[in-house]
Chains A and B, each alone.
Chain A
Amino acid sequence: IQMTQSPSSLSASVGDRVTITCRASQSLSNQINWYQWKPGGAPKLLISSISTLQSGVPSRFRGSGAATEFTLTITSLQPEDLGSYFCQQSYRTPYTFGQGTKLEI
């Protein structure tokens, strides 16, 4: 399953609404996850199953979509949101990832 993520990079200001999109080559049901990867750290699971926010993740992160089109939205960008974001399908093996979006503040 191919995961096409866009944009590959974006620059936004504090308080902006940011949207990242992932398109799958086939329907994923609800089996898509989103991760955040900050510089110097390990990837962190933000959202699972399209829209389930993980414990401790701020509510400004929202996941939405269905079938083959999915979106990660940061409703009000904060300085600590700097990093890369990538989607991943957990519908079937081999699990595959989007190419990532590098977010600059």
Chain B
Amino acid sequence: EVQLVESGGDLMQPGRSLRLTCAASGFDFDEHAIHWVRQAPGKGLEWVAGISWNSGSIGYVDSVRGRFTISRDTATKSVYLEMNSLGLEDTAFYYCVRDTNAYIRGTFDPWGQGTLVIVSS
């Protein structure tokens, strides 16, 4: 069974850093790009970042570029989202999603259950 399990969500103060982890299982990790998508309370879904199978192609939404870093580790079949300079606007559920393609193509299947990040003073 294909599974994506997110962890690392927490209550953080503005300006602090946090790392989210997505643990993948049940599929060939090297054959798929992986993304992070978030949903803030009462808001719609927002694509945050994506990384290709070999980390050769990476993309970010403008609102996080320069603050967030996506990376992946084949040995542990994990994808990370390093989040720096957290702001109130980063409060959201963060979902790890698998791309149907090895490269960043933007069709998401499946999705993880999400991890909650709350940024509050």
Contacts and interface: CB of A to CB of B under 8 A. Distances in A.
A45 B110 contact: yes
Question: Interface residues of B toward A: which range?
Answer: 20 to 34
Nearest to A45: B109
Given A42-B95, A42-B113, A95 B44 contact: no
A81 B46 CA distance: 24
Given A97-B44, A97-B46, A90 B109 contact: no
Given A42-B111, A42-B114, A90 B106 contact: yes
A26 interface: no
Nearest to A33: B107
Given A93-B47, A94-B47, A98-B44, A31 B111 contact: no
Given A42-B114, A99-B44, A94 B108 contact: no
A44 B35 CA distance: 15
A100 B45 CA distance: 9
Contact of B61 (A35, A94, A99): A94
Question: Interface residues of A toward B: which range?
Answer: 20 to 34
A21 interface: no
Contact of A45 (B50, B107, B112, B113): B107
A88 interface: yes
A6 interface: no
Given A48-B100, A93-B106, A86 B45 contact: yes
Interface of A: 31, 33, 35, 42-45, 48-49, 54, 86, 88-91, 93-100
Interface of B: 35, 44-47, 50, 59-62, 95, 100, 104-114
25 contacts: A33-B106, A35-B108, A42-B111, A42-B112, A42-B114, A43-B45, A44-B110, A44-B111, A45-B100, A45-B107, A45-B109, A49-B107, A54-B109, A86-B44, A88-B108, A89-B106, A91-B106, A93-B47, A93-B104, A95-B35, A95-B47, A95-B106, A97-B44, A97-B46, A98-B44
